[in-house]
A and B are shown apart, each in its own frame.
Chain A
Amino acid sequence: MSELTALTLAQARDGLKKKTFSAQDLAGAHVAAIEQARALNAFVIETGERAAEMAKASDARIAKGGAKPLEGIPLAVKDMFCTAGVRTTACSHILDKFVPTYESTVTANLWRDGAVLLGKTNCDEFAMGSSNETSFCNPVISPWRRKGANTPLTPGGSSGGSATAVAAQLCLGATGTDTGGSIRQPAAFTGTVGMKPTYGRCSRWGIVAFASSLDQAGPFARTVRDAAILLRSMAGPDDKDTTCADLSVPDYEAAVGKSVKGLRIGIPKEYRIDGMPAEIEKIWQQGRDWLKAAGAELVEVSLPHTKYALPAYYIVAPAEASSNLARYDGVRYGLRAPGRDITGMYEATRAAGFGKEVRRRVMIGTYVLSAGYYDAYYLRAQKVRTLIKKDFEDCFAKGVHAMLTPAAPSAAFGLGEKGGADPVEMYLNDVFTVTVNMAGLPGISVPAGLDGQGLPLGLQLIGRPFDEETLFSLGTVIEQAAGHFTPQRWWS
């Protein structure tokens, strides 16, 4: 049944509707594919039985003519989303036995629309990382390999498991979370489409929090259309999250393939960074040419505060994280390591339960919020954030509809190759993506080609607040020009 796993989400939807195959066939094919792909370590928990039950229910609804928008579509869910009755760990030792009694709003929306859960995907611990290497469950191995080599590569992070599951055809789509690039960078590394919607587009309720003012859920898919279909189901208002926008969700699929003629696309000059590989520069130029050929107007724009975005991000995000992770204290749930007294228990639990990168960020966050340092770090970073936001607003006010940038400063790198001695080396991966989170804007990463070693490269489109539709339209242009990229199957 492997041809079923090669379908796009939209094709599978049509096939189910026409009863060419059943939802149970579709789920079964994916469950089998997942079992054969354990070498990739993309899933931290497989829910084959649940998938079978959900697919059976989908078939019943299809038979009755009551199919919903995602009826019978098998999906993977990043292990940051709480799923009722299914272990949710954020790939951290501190939560590795935690089974929520509740379902996150985003995943509940997916099941409401008929989707089927295949399992939970691996990610960096608490989504803190750019290579999946901080996961307590060991890193995901990218389905991609350099030409003629078998060095294990990173799928990117933090949503590396979801990106891999989509790229390796283990599911038709997946959810991710993006705090500084955690959807767009792995999408770029794996040749998939990854969308981080506008902050507030998707509810954060039930998603394990990393940095509340930056976290946003979004879809991974193999096509722009599939991502649009998924986002329509994931997004929407939620009374349980006051930062979630009270706006109705447009039919994103209708924007796919819509003409981009006359749209003004900004090319931010500050994104031309020192030491950027020629191949990245080349693909960026390629993207400009494609959009121009499709009738868009290209303008050079300036986002003068770009260079401060990464440092400011690495103050704001750890600050919020240090507070958000305080609840993992061993008192009510999760890991508890014994100690002589309450302080001893806290220290032992958090030392044993959190990995090195999480501990580092908790300490950075605690430091920048401390009395005497708050003004110099946190407050200043928030001011920078306001300026970054204003940079974008100024461009949009001048008639720019969206911006085109590279999604990541390089193609995928080898596991263990970066950040060993200097964590900043790893943080630099987010240089093109963090600005979008800092400004709360929507961003999409679309596959644009392969580099000389045969690895995927992605282009990022950044849109106006709540204008995901324009990004889907522009993304289609790149997709049609660049084509689709599928890794050679070496794992089964």
Chain B
Amino acid sequence: MSANLIKGSTGDWEVVIGMEVHAQVTSKSKLFSGASTEFGGAPNSHVSLVDAAMPGMLPVINAECVRQAVRTGLGLNAKINLKSVFDRKNYFYPDLPQGYQISQYKQPVVGEGEVVVDLDKGESVTIGIERLHLEQDAGKSLHDRSPTMSYVDLNRSGVALMEIVSKPDLRSAEQAKAFLTKLRSILRYLGTCDGDMEKGSLRADVNVSVRKPGAPLGTRCEIKNMNSISFIGDAIEHEARRQIEVLEDGGVIEQETRLYDPNRMQTRAMRTKEEAHDYRYFPDPDLLPLELSADEVAALKAKLPELPDQKKARFMRDFALSPYDAGVLVAERETAEFYEAVTKGRDGKTAANWVINELFGRLNKEGKEIAASPVTAAQLGAMLDLIADGTISGKIAKDMFEILWSEGGDPRTIVEQRGMKQVTDLGAIEKVVDDVIAKNPDKVADAKTNPKAIGWFVGQVMKSSGGKASPQAVNDLLKKKLGV
């Protein structure tokens, strides 16, 4: 862990990080009303009387949102609380129509859990989950529509959020980024949150403090509303540096809320502890305590999909993959599914190499998602079959991949139409081999003393055959003829 320490002028410092992640629940309607949760509607087009807090309106819990929270809790290996309570968090803001947010304060629906986060070099850390609770999102204030007025859009008002709170177990920006990436992966596997940070479906408040190794926890600052994983990394680095500088200059850290400005690469104070709201939490008298039966929870558990950790273990076991390859493949549900389709009935290792090195390499280079891949799993699988049955060599397969990527088509048809079939007829290859040996007596002599020189002959033979000769056959013949 010493690699995580930050050097200051008075020695090493350890950074301690905890996160509060707000994940929008995937559901058709809002947490306490029937209004749509669809993104991008005209302002105030998805607003019910409840969302607008008209007089006499009452919240009614959306059972699907509760199930989504329970599924998420189960996916985080967390304790599901069979009884939880909705509270009112009171504060005034124009985009908060009720004057309070319905949230869960003392009794959340999900208790402690944990997430295993893989780091570089095969290391992993277990990050504790403190709790998960359900709450309403607020609306949105629009300040850029008029020079003198502010507008309010309530489309998001009442949309269900899960607030997932980690324990302060993270020790570096890298760990924080890896944690959020893993959490997003789990949410997407579960289908409980789309994890789309650009649309604001997933955002995080990051608590950062620093201390000398072994010292008690330092005073934390909360960096609010981060919606990019890479900015989170940057913000933590800058905030930790700032705190260290303050402390080393003899100052003290004030507990406060800060905002990260990615353009200036710095955090700045938003409000101090003294300015913090007194939210006057109390149980919402409009809602009965949320009660779940053990049977309901068990039924949800039985129907959970296979999650990244389980899938990784299975890939390592069933397909003999390295932890690294398995980890890369399971990071996203879509890539894992793609890989499984490619490898079905085929060699797992070869499939993994092609998917990770060729396909992912190319996708990354062109900035494409797996869903937008021009090469389908079926095409890639068919191509692997051609390699396996000796129809094409690995080298020709790379040309084939290029054709599939840019033109598409069925690999077997392409082989036929373009004459890409590798030559395995020994007689034909032997002729070429003999020809090359005859023309290069000096190289033959060289090869007798230096067996590595055989590579030159292989190259020549392949060149003469237009790349279609079976590399294996060429190798065998050359070794025999040259007596090496």
Measuring CB to CB, which residues of chain A are less than 8 angstroms from any residue of chain B? 81-82, 88, 90, 95, 98, 100-102, 104, 204-209, 211-213, 239-243, 319-320, 322-323, 325-327, 329, 331-333, 342-343, 346, 366, 369-371, 374, 378
Contacts and interface: CB of A to CB of B under 8 A. Distances in A.
A242 B282 contact: no
B285 A204 contact: no
14 contacts: A206-B56, A239-B60, A241-B60, A323-B99, A327-B55, A329-B99, A332-B52, A332-B53, A332-B97, A369-B90, A369-B280, A369-B282, A374-B280, A374-B281
B54 A371 contact: no
A329 B58 contact: no
Contacts of A212: 285-286
Q: Most chain-A CB neighbours within 10 Å: which of B56, B59, B60, B282?
A: B56
Interface in B134-172: 150, 152
Contacts of A322: 90, 280
Contact of B92 (A209, A240, A333, A346): A346
Interface of B: 49, 52-61, 88, 90, 92, 94, 97-100, 150, 152, 278, 280-282, 285-288
A318 to B, nearest CB: 12
Nearest to A81: B56
A243 B282 contact: no
Closest 3 pairs between A and B when the two form their complex, measured CB to CB: A326-B99, A213-B285, A369-B280
B58 A88 contact: no
A369 B105 CA distance: 14
A319 B282 contact: yes
B60 A240 contact: yes
B58 A323 contact: no
B97 A331 contact: yes
Contacts of B58: 204-205, 240-242
B94 A331 contact: yes
A24 B88 CA distance: 48
A319 B87 CA distance: 13
B290 to A, nearest CB: 10
Contacts of A327: 53, 55, 97-99
B100 A323 contact: yes
A324 to B, nearest CB: 9
Nearest to B59: A242
A323 B97 CA distance: 12
Nearest to B55: A208
A101 B47 CA distance: 14
B92 A323 contact: no
Contacts of B60: 239-242
Contacts of B285: 211-213, 243, 320
B92 to A, nearest CB: 6
A207 B92 contact: no
Contacts of A343: 92
Nearest to B61: A242
A408 B214 CA distance: 67
Contact of B280 (A100, A102, A370): A370
B99 A205 contact: no
A98 B280 contact: no
Nearest to B53: A327
Contacts of B280: 322-323, 366, 369-371, 374
Contact of B54 (A100, A207, A325, A374): A100
B94 A82 contact: no
A213 B286 CA distance: 7
A102 B92 contact: no
B99 to A, nearest CB: 2
Given A211-B285, A323-B100, A369-B280, A329 B92 contact: yes
A209 B284 CA distance: 13
A323 B55 CA distance: 13
B55 A95 contact: yes
Contacts of A374: 280-282
A209 B100 CA distance: 14
B286 A104 contact: no
B93 to A, nearest CB: 8
A323 B56 contact: no
Nearest to A80: B56
A207 B49 CA distance: 13
A319 B278 CA distance: 14
Contacts of B59: 242
Contacts of B94: 329, 331, 342
A476 to B, nearest CB: 33
A370 B278 contact: yes
A323 B57 contact: no
Contacts of B57: 205-206
Given A205-B56, A242-B58, A327-B97, 12 more contacts: A82-B55, A82-B56, A90-B55, A95-B55, A102-B54, A204-B58, A206-B57, A209-B55, A213-B285, A240-B58, A327-B99, A329-B94
B55 A88 contact: yes
A366 B278 CA distance: 10
Contact of B288 (A104, A211, A242, A366): A242
A209 B55 CA distance: 7
B56 A208 contact: yes
Q: Most chain-B CB neighbours within 10 Å: which of A102, A207, A208, A332?
A: A332
Contacts of B286: 209, 212, 242-243
Nearest to A379: B282
A112 to B, nearest CB: 18
Contacts of B61: 242
A323 B54 contact: no
A29 B127 CA distance: 75
Q: Most chain-A CB neighbours within 10 Å: which of B90, B99, B287?
A: B99
B152 to A, nearest CB: 7
A239 B57 CA distance: 12
Contacts of A325: 99
